[in-house]
Amino acid sequence: MAVIWFFTYLNIRGAKVIGDSSKLFGIAVLAPFAIMTVLGLFKMHFNPAVPFTLKGQGIGESLNLGLFVVMWNYLGWDGLSTIAGEMKHPRRDYPKTLVITLPLITLCYLLPVVIGIAVVGTKHVTWTAGAWNEIAGIIGGDWLRFLMAAGALISTAGLFSALLLSVTRVPFVMGEDGYLPRALFKVHPRYGTPWVALVASSAIYSIFILGPFQSLVVVDVIIYSAALLLEFAALVGLRIREPGMERPYRIPGGWLGIALVALFPTGIVIFSIYNQVLSEGLFRTVGRSFLFLATGPALYPIARHFKRRRGEIEEEVPVEPEDRPEGPSA
């Protein structure tokens, strides 16, 4: 609760505060992993690829829940778009940031895992929450174990802070459009931030922290994946209906480029859900996610009805290139 509401306050202060604090969080989180990786290079005794899967398990079964955690680690890139209006040069900075950070993030995940397993093997550590603290202690001693534990706490806080910045802009805009209460569109008189949307979102998070982490990961990934599939559908639909529309970003390679961007994530989503259903059953995790997803289509006509009663429904007009407004959010 303290983490949620402290960072809600920081988010109310504005995007720059969150950006600056995220840099400090990043250093604090990566430092113990960097130290552990360097020290571990001189203590490797095991082949990190053996065994490749648990005894008696196939690749699909082994990937099951692990794949959801990996997807959870990498999701959220499209959330950057929600704060484009608060950035100075989004068209320039977004592509540059993705090109630089995605390979670095992959290495940050991969190198400690490979080195850590090469040092301790697969049988000398209980692979549950807190395993990295144990591995750090084996490699560097109690001082590194303490740094790793501190980094884990900072990582959780920093992750929540950054995600809160992006996701709360969605109910903020929905409040502007009339699909949620207009109060969510209120901004702070001093900082210009959507403080009502921030407070409302944090109140919801304060309830959901009572659930188990693994179940929340599965629900979160499935709901996020459903939204991502809708974005892919919009991408394909707009290329068909409005092929000549001016775009601030355009995926190169024509339809082949679009297929590569859309098909691989879609295949991973389908594969992960299929394996989750096989191992856990339909309702235990996936079914609950679908129940949450069903609230969207169920509530949309209700919200649209009240919006129409307020006289806020407008006719949809195709955006022609010459009429397209300037700015990254157009």
Residue 92 sits in the same domain as residue 228? no
DSSP SS3 for 110: helix
Residue 1 sits in the same domain as residue 146? yes
- State how many domains the chain has: 2
Query: In terms of residue numbers, what domain contains 269?
Result: 212-312+324-330
Evaluate whether residue 182 is within a structural domain. no
Cα 323–Cα 311–Cα 324 angle in degrees, nearest 5: 10
245 or 146, which is more confident? 146
Residue 124 sits in the same domain as residue 30? yes
Evaluate whether residue 33 is within a structural domain. yes
319 or 261, which is more confident? 261
Rounded to two decimals, the pTM is 0.69
Residue 218 sits in the same domain as residue 156? no
Residue 151 sits in the same domain as residue 300? no
Q: What is the pLDDT of residues 140-150, one digit of tens each?
A: 999 999 999 99
Q: What is the DSSP letter of 69?
A: H
Residue 151 sits in the same domain as residue 16? yes
Evaluate whether residue 317 is within a structural domain. no
Given 167, 197, 231, the domain boundary residue is: 167
d(CA 17, CA 12): 9
17 or 211, which is more confident? 17
d(CA 66, CA 268): 13
CA distances 274 to 46, 70, 212, 217, 227, Å, are 33, 16, 22, 16, 18
Q: What is the pLDDT of residues 98-134, one digit of tens each?
A: 889 889 989 999 999 999 999 988 877 777 778 899 9
